[in-house]
Amino acid sequence: MLKKILVSGGNGRFASELKKIKSRYTFIFRDKREMNILSVNSIKSNLKKLKPDCVLHLAGLSRPMSIHDKMINKSIDLNIIGTANLVKMCNLFKKKLIFFSTGYVYPGTKGNYKEKDPLLPWNNYGWSKLGAESAVQMYKNSLIIRACMTEKPFVHKSAFDNVKSNFIFHEQIAKYLIKLINKKGIINVGGKSQSIFKFAKKYNKSVKKIKSKGQLPLKMDMNLGKLKKAIKL
């Protein structure tokens, strides 16, 4: 039974929500100064000292999306190489690894994507996450969560009404995670399939409706059947 979980990216947005959750698990949060995922020695030192049962990998480069075009080397280092380093160390120490990926690994052309559907990332952010997934999938004692999440409140002034997704807030994903920790494989995690505008309008009445003209794929939504079965929704 997993009890102690070491968390990379311990000062990030999702980690801040996870810190609020009460559960039977003990989470040990590490920021990039305390555990540098680009250094196998730093990871090894933390695993030796803290002796966790599992590593929850949240660290990496995410937004703005354009940063993955402007700073390709940094994207590769943090999202692909850093993840591969964690996989190697989890394999060495026989620790479970939970990795947060993204729905951007799917093409976004048909929607209702299942975990075994063909992958073709829409942008460099998606490619960086798929590169990381490739390393994680080589290690069978792992769980990949393909998440579609955003921070609360919805802070953007406009939202696409022709883009369908599964947006959900970090706080709800954190609650789902507690129920998924002992699972393995790949699980899509998100909320109701709907337009981004429809989701945003519930929480920000002043949000303006706009159309995606190539900024995002139009059918990004994922099939959540596996998630619902796993957490008995």
What is the pLDDT at residue 232?
85
pLDDT in tens, 108-160: 999 999 999 999 998 999 999 999 999 999 999 999 999 999 988 888 999 99
What is the pLDDT at residue 76?
98
Give which of 134, 115, 126 is closest to 183, Cα–Cα: 115
For position 27, which CATH number holds? 3.40.50.720
State the total domains in the chain.
1
* Average pLDDT of the segment spanning 161-181: 97
Report the distance separating Cα 54 and Cα 166, nearest Å.
Answer: 27
* Average pLDDT of the segment spanning 203-231: 95
Question: Would the pLDDT of 231 be above 80?
Answer: yes
Percent above pLDDT 90 for the chain: 92
| Owning domain of residue 165 | 4-231
Least confident range from 55-59, 62-66, 144-148, 201-205: namely 62-66
Peptide bond into 107 cis (omega under 30): no
Average model confidence (pLDDT) for the chain? 96
Q: Which amino acid is at 176?
A: Y
pLDDT in tens, 189-211: 999 999 999 999 999 999 999 99
What is the pLDDT at residue 224?
98
Question: Would the pLDDT of 233 be above 70?
Answer: no
Q: Which residues fall within 8 angstroms of residue 36, CB to CB, at 6 or more apart?
A: 42, 43
Question: Would the pLDDT of 102 be above 90?
Answer: yes
* Average pLDDT of the segment spanning 3-27: 96
**Residue 77 φ/ψ, nearest 5 degrees:** -60, -55
Enter the pTM of the model.
Answer: 0.96
Instruction: Find out whether 7 and 25 touch, Cβ atoms under 8 Å.
Output: no
